[in-house]
Every structure is written in structure tokens, then in C-alpha cells.
């Protein structure tokens, strides 16, 4: 486990193995293009009538139906949504992927919670970018990259780890860091970070800050900039310099205010809630809740999306964005 050294990555190569990328959303497009630009043979598999077919062709990649793409491949990258992967594996991939092929996952969810049971002759690999597809592609094109996590769940050929390292290198992860992990660790830490910090925690924090200011009589526009727009500025500084240097570079007023008030917002009860949600993730309770939500057609997700669109913060954002001069 840990960071994989440059010497080990230097010789990693997929050779003449064909990769079928199933799906062409944010992550699918980024990975397909990075792989192709790294000299890997790539075919993109899509369902008939997919809205993304024209984009694949504009990008200059080979396009095939899902079943045809799998039949050509040595490795199949399942880059369709997590909830759609089990059915796609059972109906399309398992009957067609050649003996000794490999399944490549960008998130360990379906393997960790055993929603997918790979055939005994297949390798099951994890190559998980530590960011969204747009970042993966943009940084690759700029000659940089983002870190990636690799793991092996099933090594049927004896080459599973070598395949994972080669795949990670072709995506450009070796330019930053390739970190060896397990499917369980990647899945649980990723879900926790999304829920507690990156999406769930951050969204609630922004909305609560905005609502607190507006309820106290401050202008919504000032509240918007203070609680939402400046988040990116701080995130950029933290990303470039780290938390410690960020706190050194901000004003004394901001630093002292954070010292006094940060622990009042993220207090013992907040930390207890984080431990509880991590326990739910590790025990599989979140995965069960997600499965139930998807089986019901996603009503809670739809309701939350509607609530977020109707929030006053969004009205302020649209108004301010619409009033800005075009760049």
C-alpha cells in the first residue's frame, strides 16, 4: 500500500490491449481521450440512440454498440453510473468479455458491496481518479494530472496489478501520484468525503450561511458572494498552499475569527455525526438505502433537486450571473 514509485510506473504499459470504455459522460469521455492520447487502443461503447454518439465521433474515437465494444476488448472500463453497472455487467459484459479479460472500475462501490460478481477468469481492477472527469482531462492536456488510486479485487491472470498500473499511467496519474489501496478503502473514504465534506457538508454549510445572513437583514447579493463565490477562492488557495499556509496568508482578523468560531460550527456533535455516517457507509447501510431509492425511481433525489433549484440562493446566482458582462 502507499504511493507507487516512479521506477515501477516507468515500465507500465498496456501494449496492444484494447480498452472498451462503456459510457461517455464526464468520466468516460475524459478517460477515453486520455487513454487514446497515451497510445492505447480505445473503443467507446454506447447504447443505440445515445445522445453522446455524435460527440464520440467529433472527438475522433471509435464508436460501437455496447456488445460489439465488449467483444473487441481486453479490458472493459465500466464508466456508466454505479446503479446501472450491475445490469450492464450481467447482460452485456459477462457473456461477451473474452477469457482472461479485465474489468476496470473508477469507483469500488459495486465490487465492495458485491453488487457485481466478476467471472472467475477475469481480473477486477480499480483505477479511481481523485477528481471529476473535466479535471482529469484538462490537467492531462496541460501536461499535468491528478492523483489516482489503484487496487485489485480479483487477479485471475497474474497480471491484474500490472494492468492497473498501466491503466493509471495512461490516464496521466503518474504525473502526480498513484496510490495503492483496496476497493473497500476507496469506496468508504470516497462516500464519506462526498457526504461529510465535498457535497453534503459543503452544500449545507453554504446554504446555512446564506440563510443566516439574509434572515438577519443583510443583502442577498452580499450573502451570495460571501458564502458561495468566495468558496472557490479559498479552495484554490488551500489546494495550492495547504491549510496551514492558507491560514498564514489570510488576514489576522480572518485567522483569529476562524480560530474562535470554526470549532463552534464543526463541534463535537458534528464530529459525532461524521463518525455515524462513516459507520453507516462501512456497514453497508448507505448502499442499502441507495438501492432502495433507485428501486423506487429516485423520488427523494428528485425532490432534493427541485428544492435546491427553488432555493433563494439560486435565484440570486442566476440574477448575478445574468448581469455580468460576457468574458
Query: What are the tens digits of pLDDT across the range 191-201?
Result: 999 999 999 99
| pLDDT score at 280 | 97
Task: Please check the confidence at residue 21 and state whether its pLDDT lies above 90.
Answer: yes
Q: 148: how many CB neighbours lie within 10 A of its CB?
A: 28
HSE-up (13 A, CA, CB side) for residue 191: 26
Cross-strand pairs, 115 = none
* Digit-coded pLDDT (tens) for 243-287: 999 999 999 999 999 999 999 999 999 999 999 999 999 999 999
Give the pLDDT band of residue 327 (cuts 50, 70, 90). very low
Q: What whole-number distance in Å separates Cα of residue 152 and Cα of residue 149?
A: 11
In terms of CATH, what superfamily is 2-180? NAD(P)-binding Rossmann-like Domain (3.40.50.720)
Q: What whole-number distance in Å separates Cα of residue 186 and Cα of residue 148?
A: 11
DSSP 107-120: S-HHHHTTS----T
Determine what percent of the chain is predicted with pLDDT higher than 90.
94
Q: What whole-number distance in Å separates Cα of residue 22 and Cα of residue 63?
A: 10
Task: Please check the confidence at residue 325 and state whether its pLDDT lies above 80.
Answer: no
112 labelled catalytic: no
State the chain's mean pLDDT as an integer. 95
Q: What φ, ψ does residue 45 adopt, rounded to 5°?
A: -105, 125
Give the pLDDT band of residue 7 (cuts 50, 70, 90). confident
Strand pairing class (41-46; 18-22) = parallel
Task: Please check the confidence at residue 322 and state whether its pLDDT lies above 90.
Answer: no
Please give the model's pTM, rounded to 2 decimal places. 0.90
* Digit-coded pLDDT (tens) for 131-147: 999 999 999 999 999 99
| pLDDT score at 241 | 93
Instruction: Specify the 3-state DSSP secondary structure of 125.
Output: strand
| pLDDT score at 324 | 59
Long-range contacts from 66-72, C-beta under 8 angstroms, 24+ separation:
66/22, 66/92, 67/92, 67/96, 69/20, 69/21, 69/22, 69/43, 69/44, 69/45, 70/20, 70/22, 70/45, 70/96, 70/97, 71/96, 71/98, 72/18, 72/20, 72/43
Task: Please check the confidence at residue 168 and state whether its pLDDT lies above 50.
Answer: yes
Domain residue ranges in the chain: 2-180, 191-323
Catalytic site residue from 107, 112, 117, 173: 107
Determine what percent of the chain is predicted with pLDDT higher than 70.
98
* Digit-coded pLDDT (tens) for 26-67: 999 999 999 999 999 999 999 998 999 999 999 999 999 999
Query: What average pLDDT does range 207-234 have in this prediction?
Result: 96
Give the pLDDT band of residue 159 (cuts 50, 70, 90). very high
Amino acid at each position: 500500500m502507499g504511493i507507487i514509485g516512479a521506477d515501477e510506473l516507468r515500465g507500465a504499459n498496456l501494449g496492444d490491449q484494447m480498452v472498451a470504455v462503456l459510457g461517455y459522460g464526464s468520466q468516460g469521455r475524459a478517460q477515453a481521450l486520455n487513454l487514446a492520447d497515451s497510445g492505447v487502443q480505445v473503443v467507446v461503447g454506447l447504447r443505440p440512440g445515445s445522445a453522446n454518439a455524435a460527440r464520440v465521433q467529433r472527438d475522433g474515437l471509435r464508436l460501437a454498440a455496447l456488445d460489439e465494444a465488449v467483444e473487441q476488448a481486453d479490458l472493459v472500463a465500466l464508466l456508466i453510473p454505479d446503479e446501472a453497472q450491475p445490469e450492464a455487467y450481467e447482460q452485456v459484459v459477462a457473456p461477451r468479455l473474452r477469457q482472461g479479460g479485465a474489468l476496470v472500475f473508477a469507483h469500488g462501490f459495486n465490487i465492495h458491496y458485491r453488487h457485481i460478481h466478476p467471472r472467475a477468469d477475469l481480473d477486477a481492477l480499480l483505477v479511481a481518479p481523485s477528481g471529476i472527469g473535466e479535471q482529469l482531462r484538462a490537467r492531462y492536456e496541460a501536461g499535468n494530472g491528478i492523483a489516482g488510486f489503484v487496487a485489485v479485487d480479483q487477479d485471475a491472470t497474474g497480471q491484474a496489478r500490472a494492468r492497473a498500473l498501466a491503466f493509471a499511467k495512461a490516464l496521466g496519474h503518474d504525473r502526480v501520484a498513484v496510490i495503492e489501496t483496496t476497493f473497500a478503502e476507496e469506496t468508504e473514504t470516497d462516500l464519506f468525503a462526498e457526504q461529510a465534506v465535498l457535497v453534503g457538508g459543503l452544500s449545507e454549510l453554504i446554504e446555512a450561511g446564506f440563510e443566516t445572513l439574509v434572515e438577519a437583514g443583510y443583502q442577498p447579493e452580499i450573502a451570495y458572494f460571501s458564502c458561495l463565490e468566495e468558496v472557490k477562492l479559498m479552495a484554490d488557495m488551500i489546494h495550492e498552499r495547504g491549510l496551514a499556509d492558507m491560514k498564514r496568508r489570510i488576514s489576522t482578523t480572518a485567522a483569529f475569527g476562524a480560530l474562535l468560531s470554526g470549532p463552534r460550527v464543526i463541534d463535537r456533535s458534528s464530529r459525532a455525526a461524521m463518525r455515524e455516517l462513516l459507520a453507516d457507509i462501512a456497514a453497508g447501510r448507505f448502499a442499502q438505502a441507495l438501492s432502495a431509492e433507485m428501486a423506487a425511481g429516485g423520488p427523494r433525489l428528485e425532490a432534493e433537486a427541485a428544492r435546491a433549484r427553488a432555493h433563494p440562493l439560486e435565484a440570486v446566482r442566476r440574477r448575478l450571473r445574468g448581469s455580468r458582462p460576457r468574458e
